[in-house]
Structure 1
Amino acid sequence: MSTLRFKALAELPFRNYRKDNFIEVPAKLSELFCQNVFSEETMREYLTKEAFQSILDAIKKGTKIQRHIADQVAVAMKDWAMSKGVTHYTHWFQPLTGATAEKHDSFFTPIEGGRAIERFSGGMLIQQEPDASSFPNGGIRNTFEARGYTAWDPTSPAFIMGTTLCIPSIFISYTGETLDYKAPLLRALNAVDEAATDVCKSYFDKNVTKVSPTLGWEQEYFLVDTALYQSRPDLVLTGKTLLGHSPAKGQQLDDHYFGSIPTRVMNYMKELEIECMKLGIPVTTRHNEVAPNQFELAPMFEEANVAVDHNSLLMDIMARIAHKHHFHILFHEKPFAGVNGSGKHNNWSLGTDTGENLLSPGKNPKKNLQFLTFFVNTLKAVHDYADLLRASIASASNDHRLGANEAPPAIISAFIGSQLFGVLEELEKVTDGKLSPEEKTELKLNVVGKIPEILLDNTDRNRTSPFAFTGNKFEIRAVGSSANCAEVMTVMNVIAAKQLRTFKTEVDALIGTGLKKDEAIFNVLREYIKQSKSIMFEGDGYSDDWAKEAKKRGLNNLKTTPEALKMELDKKFVALYEELGIYSHREFEARNEIKLEKYSTVIDIEARVLADIARNHIIPAALNYQNRLIENVKGLKEIFSEKEFKTLAKEQLSLISDISGNVSQIKVGVDNLLAAKEKAKNTSGSQKQAEEYCNKVKPLFDNIREASDALEMMVDDELWPMTKYRELLFTR
């Protein structure tokens, strides 16, 4: 009873946690909204008219903020923050580690005469210089070149965490290369804004001056008791369980899904929502997910840059508040074998400054033609850059989830619904060149005009599709729960921008030949529909038949991260980023290198942890129990006759033999795993090394797990050292 597992179980709710940690929620959560955010309303109160307008222009038009304005904003920020008890400030940024980063500096400044004041200037606001030597850079800079810069992003509002003013920022190297997720995203948002605005103004609405991509993420996660979490070295060091036999009851009954939320979890959710409101994160949804102890929350749609910041901030807040409620939060895509993993669906659309959603049909054929233009161009973009989109969601942890009958497959396809597919087929029949009056009437009234009616009865979604249209947005379903939304959003907006540019060029060329605007648009869309048909799929993405069919269509099935990242370096993708000014060739290759190195490092850590647990926890426990059995057998032999002994000791002897077999399998498995790991570690070249870890190291985990899980079902429960799935997944 002295194992770490039983010590952890002893700390469960029966003492402290049974006293419900009641959270009092205000009658109106809306009263808390943006309480700790330097929001537009707060800026209006604290800034001069000139400074306030300058900030709005920077947000809406991308204009540069002058230094004297920055000084005014800094003073206003400091005064507002100090009124709320803030003592420090930080440039809050998102390096390529996957977590957020911050270096706190005090407002406190000594001055002459042994005195001190609180100071925060425009220079401090605009730029900070954290040490950049240890952040991932993919060989883009030398280790001894430590200097990196954070620069204020005025398009995302500053906020307060505790006693610190946090200023959302980009992160760049001394030589100007981007070292974070935010800078490329801002460039991608600018590119799609320019391209989409150009299309809108030219063909549909001259009043449109800005198009903003919107994002609505859905965050899935697991909660486990802190004490139980600490008792599992694999959870602590890798975020997932490397061993563990499936419990008799898992998710088979679907009784957890949308079920009653446990009181302890509800209190956690209440406190989380209060903090989200204060920080301007508009969370509106909470519910139980499919797997035991799995949950989800989602906000209202926001402008993509702010939504990305909010998701990164939220993950940090979730972990902090979980700790207060004696929970540990798991964002790993597959923390438990045999139960559903966690994703982060990214719902993407485009909105104009005139208040329209460009992926939503309107009340007349003109608005519906606008919808079709952006809808078909999105499908064409995904068709042409499917492998780049796949690479944007690639990670060692997400590999466990993709295609596992709980998440979309690694094949990128688009679900649009049979009715919309029928509309595209009708458009495909549009004749070349000028339309006859009859064709125009047929097209506008019976095809384009009926789109809103069609969508009213076609809002279901295909959960096996990685890219599904759901009424007025596209849902990118394959993003992993631990991912930073910025990477997939950067890719999505870049490929949309490129495609809309191409579309504008081709339509203008046809108009130049004498075609009417609508006819030119129809002709170009018709060609795009033909070219993009291979990614449109309405069926079961999990089926073997689809994998075969996808191969016939020429779609890649990049099942692993090394495969996906190898395709990412295609010259076509590198050229795309350079053309739109998102990355230089050097920056893009560096990011690819970082992702490959991270993949290899994750597998290496998992291998070392598994070897340690197998050698130092599982084998000793198994041998301990085996020794008890041997003593029992010896006792039986002393008491009974030879004939009786053979009968009575048969099962014990069989069990002793089975334990020896499994211990041997683990021992040999660990030796092979460590040898393969060392070979992989010494493989030169990031791509080859990642492939070695993927193909030669990772498969060796299975034999060790198989033998360990078998032993879990043999060894005395009191001797088993690892907290079991039934305890991790069903603790309230």
Structure 2
Amino acid sequence: MNHDFDVISAARNWRVDASAPATPAQVVGELFASDVLTLEQLKTRLSKPDYRSLRATVERGARLDPAIADTVALAMKTWAMEKGATHYTHWFQPLTGSTAEKHDSFVSPNGDGLAIATFSGKELIQAEPDASSFPSGGLRATFEARGYTAWDSSSPAFLIRHANGATLCIPTAFASWTGEALDLKTPLLRSVEALNQAVTPALRLFGASAGTRVGSSLGAEQEYFLIAEEYFFRRPDLVMTGRTLFGARPPRGQELEDHYFGAIPDRVLSFMTDAEMQLYALGIPVKTRHNEVAPGQFEIAPIYESSNVAADHQQLIMQVLRNTARKYGLVALLHEKPFAGVNGSGKHCNWSMATDAGENLLEPGDTPHENLQFLFFCAAVIRAVDEHQDLLRISVAGASNDHRLGANEAPPAILSIFLGSELTDILDRLESGRGGRGPEAGLLGLGSSVLPPIPRHAGDRNRTSPFAFTGNKFEFRAVGSSQSISFPVTVLNTIIADAVQALTADLQTRLDAGADLDDAVGEIVRETYAAHKRVVFNGDGYSEDWHHEAEHGRGLLNLRTSLDAIPLLTSPKNAALFERFGVLTGRELTARQEIMYDIYFKTVNIEGETTEYVAQTMILPAAVRYLGDLRQAGAGRAVQGLAAQVEAAADALYDALLHLGEQNRALGGDEVHEKAHHMRDHVLPAMTEVRQAADALEKVVADLHWPLPSYRQMLFVK
């Protein structure tokens, strides 16, 4: 195998799309949301009464009127076929964490040897896909296959294009025939309504009108790696697991810090532009693109949307990135830790609450110390994070994210809040009774007369914090790059609804007793902060001192692995919380716990067997062949010394492989949680032993013999 040729092929194997890119005017005026059936599009296709009815459902949560379903379905079909669609699908998010779709044609025979295009209101509102092969966590047996998809009118239908046409995708919820949620969207929608029901009474106490509605808004940053397609398919570990199970550290990684925010390579920029044009057509407001910290790592980020639409759009972003990369001879890797020794990838979820009038409830304003409404909701968030550290950790649990959380590149598994110096000072003053505010943030001088002074933010950024206040939102940084954001956002919505509801009840009691609003809110904020400030930490979340202080000094949870966290999902506290807000029933919660165990077990099991296969059939034979060449090369001191190194490393690999094989076959028990713990406690350590031996071999076996593309090649060929 000629690896030099591999490098040349990997560098050359792409072509610039000859088609003219859209101009800025076209993006704004024609392209953006051109493949989305927006309310404005429907307005021209529906009668005024039907349009008003549908709009009330989408914007105010009114119950969908079945009487307008046929009219909406006709408008939807006509629009889609005008755009080139031949099929439609109910597009949903099963508990696999990905999306699912079953395509049906608009074309139906009419009995006269001809065909017509049909799409009824019944087909729009509900479909019945075979649900038997989706994970249910015991909600139903395999032979109980019936499941229903139900149209989510709050998330607009859209087109997915391919080389020979397009498909109309209708966002839907997915439930069993008994009505239990088998998807990620249904609990998310329930949590949005729970947040609305909890927050609007608080707003009325602050003077909001009775018709105000509240929802959560979200912007999710997406980190990912790109490698040459040439290398991806020569790495069985990447193909099967999404991460490299082998790979010696190259002489250069991210130490020079020259990749971060560096000039984007032309090949990558061409890919990014292509992906962005597709995302614009889908109405996804992507705003930012840049090089991330590790070589070959990049980021794309949209701006705020309602959390339900943002969750749908996040799934589409991942799909478009994967599909588009192949056009440029690249593969997009969304795994949290595809390469050891360099930074992994996260999906930072920027979360806030907003009214239907567009008021951000986490916007401090110019005088945050006087903005009692902001401080009230900020106190609720602090309480929610402290009381539900376990749920936030569980929401980002998974075998792949365990490789990232807690390393010196990602937020630790300890849940804490970064508030920044000014907001912390305000709350400290309230707690102590001093009131007022500390030094003004003022302007930041840059030391040159030609550079203007810029406003200093109320607090610095803290990339080591898993949950950070960043001006007018909280950034949940612990979410993994490959996972759906739906469950983390469901948890955020629910725990903050719980905290707001409790503080609102307290406020109402004080007001009923004759207290002044300002005084009552000030007391509630002071008491809440005093009770929960242990979760506020503005320092270095990577430091060992913080880990010790958090766990032993402050009593915060340190759930280091997913299997430490998952058992807590069904605790009485958590089951009661989700039941009380109607987000998840006890059975639905238990099912999700079972699925989390199952996915963990299967993920590591696949990795363990892939490690054994690659090491046994590719790496060990390469070492043996090279050792044979050395022994035929003569008896010189250099040859003998090198042969001894290779032989020792090959023997170590052989012994480690025997141990891994035993652990792979043992499985650890019959129950899925027993198997999952066996994977963590025995298979992962055995895999590490094999990797260490294999990586040692990579450093001494001749490059001509080594069967896998190296980190040096994969990370640096642009």
Shift of 1:20: 7.1
Greater mean deviation of Cα atoms: 612-621 or 503-512: 503-512
Give CA-to-partner distance per residue, 1:473-529, whole Å, 9 cap, x none: 000011110010101000000001111111111111222333222222222222110
Does the 8 Å CA contact 2:190/2:582 hold for their aligned counterparts? Answer: yes
Give the letter for the 1:79 counterpart.
T
Matched residue, 1:55: 54
Shift of 1:688: 3.0
Shift of 1:185: 0.2
Matched residue, 1:201: 204
Does the 8 Å CA contact 2:14/2:327 hold for their aligned counterparts? Answer: no
Alignment of 1:124-143 (within 5 A): 124-143=123-142
Counterpart of 1:688 in 2: which secondary structure? helix
Alignment of 1:438-449 (within 5 A): 443=435, 446-447=436-437
Q: Cα distance 1:555–1:364, how it changes in 2: closer, same or farther (>3 A)?
A: closer
Give the letter for the 2:10 counterpart.
L
Q: Which of the pair has more CA radius of gyration?
A: 1
Matched residue, 1:485: 485
Matched residue, 1:667: 654
Shift of 1:10: 5.6
Give the superposed CA RMSD: 2.0
Give CA-to-partner distance per residue, 1:565-618, whole Å, 9 cap, x none: 122222101110011111111110110110111001111100000001111001
Give the letter for the 1:345 counterpart.
H
Alignment of 1:682-721 (within 5 A): 682-721=668-707
Does the 8 Å CA contact 1:204/1:366 hold for their aligned counterparts? Answer: no
Give CA-to-partner distance per residue, 1:450-485, whole Å, 9 cap, x none: 899999532421110000000100000111100101
Shift of 1:666: 1.2
Shift of 1:362: 3.1
TM-score in terms of structure 2 length? 0.95
Greater mean deviation of Cα atoms: 222-231 or 503-512: 503-512
Aligned pair partner of 1:727 in 690, 707, 713 = 713
1:412 aligns with 2:412: no
Matched residue, 1:150: 149
Q: Cα distance 1:422–1:453, how it changes in 2: closer, same or farther (>3 A)?
A: farther
Shift of 1:143: 0.4
Aligned pair partner of 1:263 in 233, 243, 266 = 266
Counterpart of 1:11 in 2: which secondary structure? helix
Counterpart of 1:344 in 2: which secondary structure? coil
Q: Cα distance 1:605–1:125, how it changes in 2: closer, same or farther (>3 A)?
A: same
Give the letter for the 1:196 counterpart.
V
1:334 aligns with 2:337: yes
Shift of 1:326: 1.3
Q: Cα distance 1:342–1:366, how it changes in 2: closer, same or farther (>3 A)?
A: closer
Name the CA distance, whole Å, in 2 between partners of 1:18 and 1:160.
Answer: 26
Matched residue, 1:500: 500
Counterpart of 1:46 in 2: which secondary structure? coil
Shift of 1:204: 3.6
Name the CA distance, whole Å, in 1 between partners of 2:6 and 2:476.
Answer: 39
Matched residue, 1:645: none
1:598 aligns with 2:599: yes
User: Runs of 5+ in structure 2 lacking a partner?
Assistant: 445-454
Matched residue, 1:644: none
Does the 8 Å CA contact 1:21/1:264 hold for their aligned counterparts? Answer: no
Aligned pair partner of 2:665 in 660, 668, 678 = 678
Shift of 1:30: 1.2
Name the CA distance, whole Å, in 2 between partners of 1:21 and 1:294.
Answer: 26
Greater mean deviation of Cα atoms: 657-666 or 397-406: 657-666
Matched residue, 2:449: none
Aligned pair partner of 2:188 in 153, 162, 185 = 185
Give CA-to-partner distance per residue, 1:177-198, whole Å, 9 cap, x none: 1111100000000000111111
Counterpart of 1:542 in 2: which secondary structure? coil
TM-score in terms of structure 1 length? 0.93
Alignment of 1:527-606 (within 5 A): 527-551=527-551, 552-606=553-607
Aligned pair partner of 1:289 in 274, 289, 292 = 292
Matched residue, 1:101: 100
Name the CA distance, whole Å, in 2 between partners of 1:295 and 1:453.
Answer: 32
Aligned pair partner of 1:173 in 166, 172, 176 = 176
Name the CA distance, whole Å, in 2 between partners of 1:123 and 1:449.
Answer: 63
Name the CA distance, whole Å, in 2 between partners of 1:178 and 1:22.
Answer: 44
Q: Cα distance 1:259–1:706, how it changes in 2: closer, same or farther (>3 A)?
A: same
Name the CA distance, whole Å, in 2 between partners of 1:424 and 1:453.
Answer: 22
Aligned pair partner of 1:388 in 391, 394, 404 = 391
Give the letter for the 2:659 counterpart.
N
Identity of aligned residues (%): 46
Counterpart of 1:348 in 2: which secondary structure? strand
Give the letter for the 2:416 counterpart.
S
Shift of 1:19: 6.0
Give CA-to-partner distance per residue, 1:323-343, whole Å, 9 cap, x none: 111111100000001111100
Alignment of 1:262-411 (within 5 A): 262-362=265-365, 368-411=371-414
Name the CA distance, whole Å, in 2 between partners of 1:541 and 1:27.
Answer: 41
Matched residue, 1:655: 642
Name the CA distance, whole Å, in 1 between partners of 2:569 and 2:442.
Answer: 37
Name the CA distance, whole Å, in 2 between partners of 1:366 and 1:7.
Answer: 64
Name the CA distance, whole Å, in 1 between partners of 2:528 and 2:352.
Answer: 20
Give the letter for the 2:238 counterpart.
L
Name the CA distance, whole Å, in 2 between partners of 1:615 and 1:365.
Answer: 62
Counterpart of 1:87 in 2: which secondary structure? strand
Does the 8 Å CA contact 1:364/1:449 hold for their aligned counterparts? Answer: no
